[in-house]
């Protein structure tokens, strides 16, 4: 999803209060929060939406009965050690979900996070956001999916390092080791058309 930096600084408590008031209001723009800085999120493209739903649907179906939960777009994830809150495109949690409070809208223990890249978010998703995601102890896999070409990258935690593997062919399958399933790239990109 596209982002733009706003020059508003709030405490984490002020941010959460504003976001929770905004959720029922369809005209309010969601925002992420990084150390007092609000980052407004704009709407997503057709390709972005298709890829997000394809991945979340496959994960939901594949993980049914395994005690895992899959969320698309609306589950806020916290990185408490860096005072940050994000809305990943797809989130998977496989232990008992832990939440910041009794509103149950800020997840603390995801095992997989997926971001669909766009020109306006790619540097942010690869850089500052990934830097903060790496602080989440439960996180095992971080997936980046291009929407303008066939390219899926997975960063997998191996002790204190993150190992990158990429996939660029529709015949390949994305292995998600942490949940023991594979997602065919052909299905990830189902109905997505690419620029000439």
Confidence check: pLDDT of 7 > 90: no
Q: What are the tokens at 133?
A: 């995601």
- Looking at residue 37, what is its pLDDT? 87
From the list 58, 62, 93, the residue with the least C-alpha distance to 76 is 93
Main-chain dihedrals φ then ψ at residue 77, nearest 5 degrees = -120, 135
Q: What span, in angstroms and rounded, lies between the C-alpha atoms of 154 and 37?
A: 28
pLDDT for residue 6 is more than 50: no
pLDDT tens profile 20-47: 887 555 455 678 899 888 888 877 899 9
182 within 8 A of 61, measured Cβ to Cβ: no
**Domains parsed from the chain with CATH numbers:** 44-188 (3.90.1570.10)
Q: What is the pLDDT of residue 23?
A: 58
Q: Is the overall model pTM greater than 0.85, yes or no?
A: yes
């Amino acid at each position: 999803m596209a982002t733009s930096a706003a020059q508003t600084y709030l405490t984490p408590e002020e941010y959460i209060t504003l976001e929770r008031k905004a959720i029922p209001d369809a005209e309010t723009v969601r925002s992420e929060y990084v150390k007092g800085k609000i980052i407004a999120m704009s709407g997503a493209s057709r390709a972005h939406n298709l890829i997000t739903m394809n991945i979340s649907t496959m994960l939901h179906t594949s993980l049914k009965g395994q005690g895992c939960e899959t969320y698309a777009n609306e589950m806020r994830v916290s990185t408490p050690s860096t005072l940050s809150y994000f809305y990943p495109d797809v989130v998977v949690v496989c232990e008992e979900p832990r939440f910041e409070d009794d509103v149950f809208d800020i997840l603390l223990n995801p095992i997989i996070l997926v971001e669909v890249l766009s020109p306006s978010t790619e540097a942010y998703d690869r850089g500052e956001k990934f830097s903060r995601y790496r602080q989440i102890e439960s996180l095992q896999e971080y997936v980046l999916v291009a929407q303008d070409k066939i390219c899926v990258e997975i960063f997998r935690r191996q002790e204190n390092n993150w190992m990158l593997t990429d996939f660029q062919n529709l015949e390949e399958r994305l292995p998600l080791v942490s949940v023991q399933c594979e997602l065919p790239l052909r299905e990830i990109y189902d109905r997505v058309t690419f620029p000439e």
